[in-house]
């Protein structure tokens, strides 16, 4: 650990937790891939920032590409240190502008092959920052959200209820707040369109105190597999054809737009001198764009934007 986390009592177990979370999640995906003969093996890529780079630290990238179920599924752990917080991290903490910082987290995006299986994103992280000679400030962020191409009410309900249950021990206000925060955040403002059916999202969070804020963040991480895997298992065998595949690639283009234009995590990583290959782990292997494409009225494709991409109380 570097000096900043060493000066922040009570955070020593977070790194071990995050490494264990990455191992559990990718182990579950690998087990699904291994159920068939054409399953792909995850690549494990440890990395370390070179001397002289602005950002220092290390991490582990684990990724499945060209799999039987997952066309691209990346899950990255990182633990980095920098001389000054980038602008994307000090919007709500101007007193920390220019302060040294340390951050660690696990972030994942899974792009399944079958268009009936939704894409999913999850992230849990902790940041500590403080000017020299001052007590560091620690805060947490994270959440998960579901992005279907062909929606099912029961999938959205299941995903949201698991999120709700994970947050319940930390106060009845947490799920409604973080659900609304997710709807507000994962919005393509330039298109006035939601990215998916949402989930939960929180950032700059420390209001429960260090121990409970950390416990809440870990509860969200622990909820990921029970929230997502049952949906994958239910939908992965659904037959599909060229029409569904074409629509999936078109909607993936929206995912790319959000991540590059609006996502604070992407901006934080690039602005702070992070590892580009890891930051762009969320990109799908294939995507497409079309000019003023409009789905046929009454079609499942039209229902996605008219019904599923409208914020609603799924839980």
Burial class (CB in 10 A: 0-12, 13-18, 19+), 229: middle
> Please, are residues 275 and 49 in contact by the beta-carbon 8 Å criterion?
yes
> Can you give the chain as a three-state secondary structure string?
CCHHHHCCCCCHHHHHHHHHHHHHHHHHHHHHHCCCCCCCCCEEEEEECCCCCCCEEEEEEEEEECCCCEEEEEEEEEEEEECCCCHHHCCCCHHHCCCCEEEEEEEEEEEECCCCCCEEEEEEEEEEECCCCCCCEEEEEEEEEEECCCCCHHHHHHHHHHHHHHHHHHCCCHHHHHHHHHHHHCEECCCCEECCCEEEEEEEECCCCHHHHHHHHHHHHHHHHHHHHHHHHHHCCCCCCHHHHHHHHHHHHHHHHHHHHCCHHHHHHHHCCCCHHHHHHHCCCCCCCCCCCCCCCCCHHHHHHHHHCCCCCCC
Selecting among 79, 92, 111, 121, the annotated active-site residue is 121
Three-class SS of residue 2?
A: coil
Q: Active-site residue 121, yes or no?
A: yes
User: CA-CA distance, 181 to 163, in Å (whole number)?
Assistant: 13
Supply φ then ψ for residue 268, to 5 degrees: -60, -50
Q: So which residues are the catalytic ones?
A: 121
């Amino acid at each position: 650990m570097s000096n900043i986390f060493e000066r922040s009592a009570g955070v020593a177990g977070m790194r071990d937790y995050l490494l264990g979370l990455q191992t559990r999640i990718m182990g579950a995906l690998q087990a699904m891939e291994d159920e068939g003969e054409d399953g792909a093996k995850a690549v494990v890529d440890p990395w370390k920032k070179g001397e002289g780079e602005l950002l220092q630290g290390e991490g582990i990238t684990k990724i499945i590409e060209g799999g039987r179920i997952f066309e691209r599924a990346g899950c990255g752990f990182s633990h980095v240190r920098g001389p000054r917080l980038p602008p994307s991290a000090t919007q709500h903490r101007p007193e920390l502008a220019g302060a040294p910082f340390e951050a660690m987290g696990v972030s994942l995006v899974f792009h399944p092959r079958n268009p009936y299986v939704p894409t999913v994103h999850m992230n849990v992280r902790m940041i500590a920052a403080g000017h020299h000679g001052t007590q560091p400030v620690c805060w947490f962020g994270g959440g998960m959200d579901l992005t279907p191409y062909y929606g099912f009410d029961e999938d959205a309900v299941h995903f949201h209820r698991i999120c709700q249950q994970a947050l319940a021990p930390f106060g009845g206000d947490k799920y409604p707040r973080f659900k609304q925060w997710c709807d507000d955040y994962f919005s393509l403002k330039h298109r006035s369109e939601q990215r998916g059916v949402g989930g939960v999202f929180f950032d700059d969070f420390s209001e429960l105190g260090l121990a409970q804020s950390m416990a809440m963040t870990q509860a969200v991480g622990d909820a990921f597999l029970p929230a997502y895997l049952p949906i994958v298992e239910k939908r992965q065998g659904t037959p599909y054809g060229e029409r569904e595949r074409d629509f999936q690639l078109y909607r993936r283009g929206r995912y790319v737009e959000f991540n590059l234009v609006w996502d604070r995590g992407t901006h934080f990583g690039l602005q702070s001198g992070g590892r580009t290959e890891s930051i762009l782990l969320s990109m799908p292997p294939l995507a497409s764009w079309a000019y003023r494409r409009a789905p046929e009225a009454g079609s499942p494709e039209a229902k996605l934007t008219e019904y599923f991409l409208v914020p609603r109380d799924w839980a």
